[in-house]
Amino acid sequence: MKKLFSTSFLLLLLVLPLIGHSEIYRYITPDGKLLLTDTPKHRGYTQLVKTHRGWEPKKADYHKPANKRALSRYIRKAADTYQLPYDLLHAVIRVESAYNPRAVSKAGAQGLMQLMPATAARFNVSDPFNPADNIDGGSRYLRHLLTLFDNNYTLALAAYNAGENAVIRYGNKIPPYKETQNYVRKVLKLYRANKAS
């Protein structure tokens, strides 16, 4: 408990001097360390804004090319390891989290590929907020779904969103959930656009 207090106190001491400034930026290093500053050193930093929930990232900043490039090596490695289209993984991450490694959904899904805690445990993801771990686990799950549904991207993506049992329950068709139908449409549209560019 003493260690927890001193770590929290140290973080508070680091943040307090920045609160007086109009702009605060954060950078999450590839190994998951959090850096805060009022003077970003490169484009990989994300501006934070004050909201009713506290300090949060500006959503649009995650779409910056520098953020995509920073994640591309993990995406490329996962694509090669699990024999997945590189552009498909980019599309999934864009729709799931908008490239926000700290994203948390209302349902509790976490990180870049929005892994539910049970899915993260199932695919041995120890830290869902670590970009490399999250992309590896999400890619492994997507590969599992593609194998399960005979490489049918539509069904695999529907299962990624709604769960594999939902797809099976509806006779190996996209479940009649508006969210899932929109999700599949968005990911496939982005995937095709990525491939074409």
Active site residues: 96
Q: Exposure string (b/e) for 77-90, b if CB count within 10 Å is 16 or more?
A: ebbeebebeebbbb
C-alpha dihedral sign at 49, 16, 33, 39: positive
CA distance to 41, 63, 80, 97, per residue, from 24 (Å): 12, 18, 37, 21
Bridge partners (DSSP) of residue 110 are 104, 115
C-beta atoms surrounding 63 within 10 Å = 12
